[in-house]
Amino acid sequence: MIVDSPSNHYWVHIVPSKERPLKLSEEEYLEHYGKWLIFGPKEYVENLAIQIDPLVEGGEIDHAKYCKSEPGFDPFPKRKGYVLCVYCDDGEKDRVRKLLEKLGVKDMEWKYDRQTIEDWQPGGKLFEESEKQSGQ
């Protein structure tokens, strides 16, 4: 189910319509959970999200999200464009990568959620870049 909430100005979420039980404890999540990052033009990201939706609904992919507007701060200045995040644990990342490749995705990169959390803490690279760009 694609959820474009008016209160969320940046992300559109792709989630299952029925809640699933959590697979990982909080400690396991921080150790093993992450996402495939896929960058591209808005139309490419939106079309890919539509193709991923049934995979989320069918349980083949945990969930995903994509940005729906240009950010005030670009956390990915070298990549330009929109980002789609496809979530799974590292034990499933190869299987999920193959699913994405079947959808035609050629370029993607893996990032652990723990790294994203660290990057947004004071002193982290995304936090510092955000501060620098907002001060311009």
Look up the domain containing 14 and give its range.
2-134
Q: Kindly report, residue by residue over 96-128, the tens digit of the pLDDT.
A: 999 999 999 999 999 998 998 888 788 877 666
For tokens 């956390």, the residue is 75
Strand 82-89, strand 109-112: pairing: unpaired
Alpha-carbon gap, residue 73 to 1, rounded angstroms: 28
Q: Kindly report, residue by residue over 5-50, the tens digit of the pLDDT.
A: 888 878 999 999 998 877 778 888 788 999 999 999 999 999 999 9
Q: In this model, does residue 136 exceed pLDDT 60?
A: no
For tokens 């989630």, the residue is 15
The total number of structural domains in the chain stands at: 1
